[in-house]
């Protein structure tokens, strides 16, 4: 078996937000957006991160890139521990670690042309001469499907799919190795979505990119990703290879998510798993397994014991005390 090169190693990562400002430590409350995440991403692979809205997916992606300061834990990137890096160290590392934001219109400066927006990282990192930068931007915009007639337009003059291509081009212009993709196709029409996903897949193969692909759409994740991590209320409850997760889901939450995927065939009858109750507050999460308040198989032990990820096989880990 070919040995894979570890690119990113996230160890017990936590991100808490204070919700009151009392000076009495015992009375302080925190919103536990990310609460003890362990995740590895290898060079050239795409790891999908799925879960309900509000489970902490986007916060995890932004904290890994240190767009948010982490509360606790460690982040290793290419063998270097980066969670304590200051502004200047992270500024240099930004060439290697980039992000594609969910809303392309909000992430583009409305006063900058598309050409200037894509060229900006080259100017910031002082990559090449001005002529080389101009040539590089034009070639990349052409590669992502935006020709000469688009490069001097402004964001409001373009469609959602075109703006997303601009954001992707801006993210890869500095030749990064790792990109966090925060629901990059969720706001696009289905036909445009497939074009953007194919573009991302093609760029990954040609540029040796690694993706953390955040999405709530399991069908998209199934198409693009190599491994998939399922997140619930700030914690990963299951992680497995794509094939293993869809053919053999183990955690009750994963089973419920997969049962909700629509099948475009009226003759195929599937049983939808409807979860009872609402997602608990991350300010005051349940004791033990955080899913036990909605789990149809929960026992008394589930409310007392916090399950850790355990290995089912070499391609599958699950956090459930009844799974082993």
Decide: 228 and 48 in contact? Cβ < 8 Å.
yes
How far is residue 189's CA from residue 160's CA, in Å, rounded to a whole number?
A: 9
Residue 66: per-residue pLDDT: 93
Task: Work out the pLDDT band at 68, boundaries 50, 70, 90.
Answer: very high
Domains of the chain: total: 1
Residue 153, phi then psi, degrees to nearest 5:
-85, 165
Percent of the chain at pLDDT > 90 equals: 66
89 in a domain, yes or no?
no
Q: What does the buried/exposed string (b/e) look like for 245-269 if buried means 16 or more CB atoms within 10 Å of the residue's CB?
A: bbeebbbbbbebbbeeeeeeeeeee
Please compute the mean of the pLDDT values over residues 275-284 and round it to a whole number: 86
Q: Is residue 269 part of a domain?
A: yes
**Domain membership flag for residue 186:** no
**CA pair distance 291, 302, nearest whole angstrom:** 9
Rg (CA), the chain: 21
Average pLDDT for residues 9-22, to the nearest whole number? 91
Q: CA-CA distance, 54 to 102, in Å (whole number)?
A: 15
pTM of the model: 0.91
Adjacency order of strands within the sheet including 210-214: 97-100, 178-182, 210-214, 46-50, 227-232, 235-241, 316-318, 310-313
On whether residue 41 sits in a domain, the answer given is: no
Mapped onto helix, strand or coil, the DSSP state of residue 66 is: coil
Instruction: Map residue 230 onto helix, strand or coil.
Output: strand
Domain range spanning residue 263?
Answer: 249-324
Residue 187 reports pLDDT greater than 90: no
The answer to whether position 70 is within a domain reads no
- pLDDT tens digits, one per residue of 89-133: 898 899 999 999 888 889 999 999 999 999 999 999 999 999 999
């Amino acid at each position: 078996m070919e040995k894979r090169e570890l690119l990113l190693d996230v160890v017990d990562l936590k991100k808490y937000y204070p919700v009151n400002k009392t000076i009495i430590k015992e009375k302080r409350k925190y919103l536990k957006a990310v609460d003890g995440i362990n995740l590895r991403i290898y060079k050239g692979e795409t790891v999908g991160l799925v879960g309900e809205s509000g489970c902490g997916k986007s916060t995890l992606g932004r904290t890994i890139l240190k767009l948010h300061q982490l509360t606790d834990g460690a982040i290793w990137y290419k063998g270097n521990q980066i969670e304590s890096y200051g502004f200047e160290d992270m500024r240099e590392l930004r060439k290697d670690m980039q992000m594609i934001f969910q809303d392309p219109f909000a992430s583009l400066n409305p006063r900058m042309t598309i050409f200037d927006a894509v060229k900006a990282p080259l100017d910031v990192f002082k990559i090449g001469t001005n002529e080389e930068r101009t040539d590089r931007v034009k070639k990349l915009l052409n590669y992502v499907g935006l020709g000469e007639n688009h490069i001097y337009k402004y964001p409001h003059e373009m469609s959602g799919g075109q703006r997303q291509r601009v954001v992707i081009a801006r993210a890869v212009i500095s030749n990064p190795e790792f990109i966090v993709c925060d629901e990059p196709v969720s706001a696009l029409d289905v036909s445009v979505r497939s074009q953007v996903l194919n573009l991302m897949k093609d760029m990954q193969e040609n540029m040796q990119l690694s993706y953390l692909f955040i999405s709530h759409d399991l069908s998209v994740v199934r198409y693009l990703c190599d491994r998939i991590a399922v997140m619930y209320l700030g914690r990963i409850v299951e992680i497995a290879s794509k094939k293993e997760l869809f053919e053999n889901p183990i955690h009750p939450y994963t089973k419920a998510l997969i049962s909700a995927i629509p099948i475009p065939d009226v003759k195929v009858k599937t049983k939808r798993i409807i979860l009872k109750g609402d997602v608990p507050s991350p300010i005051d999460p349940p004791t033990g397994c955080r899913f036990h308040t909605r789990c149809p198989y929960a026992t008394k032990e589930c409310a007392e014991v916090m399950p850790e990820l355990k290995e089912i096989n070499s391609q599958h880990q699950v956090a459930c005390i009844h799974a082993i």
